């Protein structure tokens, strides 16, 4: 049987809910927590502070930071503070850009879901998430 040719209306909505901007690297819960913590602390966070904020183990945080560093989303600087080893983690400019693009896509997901649910109050909740203010 021959496949049906899509109508112009069907073609215009094709892939409408594909959300290609949901970056797989960021979308994982722990990495989303790490990036959110780092973008709200532009000077960076120590490994210990980041571990506590994200409720991760040393090994878990280390592994997620490796993934983010490989993607050039975070910078990891090892040094010393009062003769004690210290690891400082910061979001990079490209990491910040990818994170904000991810948030824009995520915001669209929420808006689309709110339309279907008929919930007009949801967009008001998103006003505080304006990426230009982050």
Residue 66 lies in a domain: yes
Number of domains in the chain: 1
pTM of the full structure:
0.74
Chain segment 38-93, per-residue pLDDT in tens:
999 989 999 999 999 999 999 999 999 999 999 999 999 999 989 999 999 999 99
The strands making up 74-81's β-sheet, listed across from edge to edge, are: 45-46, 84-91, 74-81
Residue 9 lies in a domain: no
pLDDT at 4 over 70: no
pLDDT confidence of residue 39: 96
**What is the percentage of the chain residues whose pLDDT exceeds 70?**
75
Residue 13 lies in a domain: no
Residue 2 lies in a domain: no
pLDDT at 119 over 80: no
133: its two tokens: 């203010």
pLDDT confidence of residue 133: 44
Residue 87 lies in a domain: yes
Question: Residue 80: which domain range?
Answer: 21-133
């Amino acid at each position: 049987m021959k496949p049906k040719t899509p109508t112009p209306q069907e073609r215009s909505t094709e892939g409408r809910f594909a959300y290609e901007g949901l970056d797989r690297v960021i979308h994982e819960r722990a990495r989303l927590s790490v990036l959110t913590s780092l973008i709200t602390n532009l000077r960076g966070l120590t490994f210990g502070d980041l571990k506590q904020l994200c409720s991760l183990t040393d090994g878990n945080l280390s592994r997620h930071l490796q993934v983010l560093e490989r993607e050039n989303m975070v910078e990891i600087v090892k040094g010393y503070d009062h003769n004690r080893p210290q690891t400082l983690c910061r979001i990079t400019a490209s990491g910040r850009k990818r994170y904000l693009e991810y948030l824009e896509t995520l915001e669209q997901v929420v808006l689309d879901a709110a339309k279907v649910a008929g919930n007009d109050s949801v967009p008001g909740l998103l006003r505080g998430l304006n990426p230009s203010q982050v």
